[in-house]
Structure 1
Amino acid sequence: MPMTWLLRPFVRHNGRRGVLLGGLGLLALVVAPTGTAQLYKYQDEHGFWHYTDRPRSDLRQPVETLPQPAAVARPTRDLNARLRERFSPQNPLQEATLSTVQIKTALGSGSGFFISNSGHLLTNQHVIKLPESDRAALQQAVGDTEQRIDRQRQNLAWRAREMEKFREDLARHEAYLRGLPEGAEKARRQTYYQSQRNQYQTLQRELAAERREFQETERKIATARRQMDWKLAVADAANTFTIILKDGTELRASLLAVSRNHDLALLKVDQHVTPALRPAPPADVGHGAPVYAIGNPVGLRDSISAGVVSGIDPPFVRTDAKIYPGNSGGPLVLADGRVVGINTMKRITHKFEGIGYAIDMHIALQEFASALPRD
């Protein structure tokens, strides 16, 4: 469709000449960023000026071809060179930390690492999206808490009814005392009444304190529920995430793909040259090979823990290197900095600290082969 229609609301007649009031600004907004079609300017037989990408073929007036604006090239920043200059790595492990990032989401944070110089990075799917099993467990935990709150509310309501009965008994006893003549019997009953009244007042204060505490707990749980629902909604809708480099620089990374078969996700940072880690040859990943887990455990950025390969359980590489919350998505590397796998989970045992698992790096590369550059 010719773009001439965009100008019609902005033309005011003045004899046989048209005065353009605002169409050029709108046309520039619509055309300039999105296309490279040639634009033309001409005056029709009624004296009105038109700006269009498709002039009429029956015009008698000359058609002027408008110059196209030059494309604006977006700059590419060389993060690889900047990080190397800033930290001057002295060995392959220090160099590997340049490629490792912290990933922040609405649900928390984890780790990831660059695998191409054009900004592709790997992480765990559960770092950026809450797994359905965890979501169900979280919803169940919240539901259980709300049921306990409801039981406590019912208990407080029952106690309030009992206190009301207690108050009515005291009122009846007080009325009975007023009708008794002075004497030992009245004094005895007066003492009993006073003790019951004191007990009632104590129970009333306790009930009032428990009500205040319950209301505060109820408010906190309701707030936590709203926050959880909001975070889950944001996490479900999010396709871009904040990543933090070794030097603290924050960038935005877009979600390219998630694996259907493994706990893996592929992100990308555009317009940057990035450091990148390379995969370790399978022949170098054997029992007893020294390995190092790099990541951001418990909020500590740029952390390394050492261990060995303790077994191969496809698709996992098993290790005794310490993998803490926040390490998920980071690289498990050999001493030469090449990647063995993606730190994924830790299984706690009863007799010792635990066993870490990393998804084999070559499986990750196979999963995302179509989205990765061929270098």
Structure 2
Amino acid sequence: MDNLTYHRECSWQAGFTLCHNAGIISTVSDKTGTLLSFSKNRDYINTVSLNIDRNIESAYTGYCYNEDELFLAPYNADKFLAVNIKKGTVRELTDLSGAIDNNLQAKYLKVIKMGDVSCVIGEKIHSILFINMSNGYSMEKEYSYNNSVFWTFNHAINGDKIYLASRNENYLFEIDMSSYSVSEYSVTKDGEDGFNDIYEKDGRIFLIGKKDENYSWDDNTRKLLKTSGNSDEMTSWFSCSINDCVCHIYANKNMLIREDSKGNKTNVLIDIGDVDSINGVLFQGTCVVDDSIIFVSRNGRFFEYEVSNNRLEEIMLNEIDGYDQSFSGVFGKVLMIGTALEGRDGSLLGFIEHVVESV
């Protein structure tokens, strides 16, 4: 394996997840209730206050874009919100907020948008919300698994299907967005229960266990097939396939591993300084943008890794015009926001219908 080392100081703090669309990256503060947005090409930076209780940690970990507005589903907060990034306005989506139990923590973990429909994934709320962002129609489907399922940080998409894996149970979840149907599978695997990671490559779904053992999902037999052994030292946190390469970011090691189609591996070592990890996790937010991976460490340093050029660069937010040191905080989920700078007056429509349907 070739080795690369990179280090550069940065004063920001951020975390949880990254997704992408149209060049604007946003993250909700895990401590201060602030929404931070900045551009991938480093020429725009902005913040919007969400006006939430600063005592609530991980208030929002799941959200997606819709025109100029950002749709946020509550994790430990108690409201669904729509935020206009350009105008700096925040409004509550009362039709959705009124239907949730405000005393419940860990409500909705993530939001996955495919086409016009957002799929809101419940964690302690054992249901999936399907919301059509163009006409406001919403439908809820309950899932039957009764144990306390905690989902992996990553998810996988193959065609019209979304795959989720449990961190603490041998449990796989399949959401078919063409029919809005949900399938649940209890699976058999070696060692400790649960998975650390899940990803798609060449139309196949791969899962990574607690000791970095690798499995593939057989869509015909609905069973796991073990594809490789394990390592007691490595814990994969985010994996993705880009340009015939598979890249893994590890929760407990300051490195990214890039494996090409011939099996050649490159270790990309990242000196991130002192990190106060949570449950051994050094990195949090991650997403794929074109042929790059954007990710953030627990101590809030943003990085971009270009797969095709095998190049790692830190995104120095304090070098962007408009940076304000007072923005610094511990940030939560991070994603790319679509059309935030295009100037259209898009808005989330009123949510006119709510249907509960059991799987």
Task: Please indicate the TM-score interval, normalised by the length of the shorter structure.
Answer: under 0.3
Question: What's the TM-score, normalizing by structure 2?
Answer: 0.20
**Which entry has the higher C-alpha Rg, 1 or 2?**
1
Which of structures 1 and 2 has the larger relative contact order (alpha carbons within 8 angstroms, sep 6+)?
Answer: 2
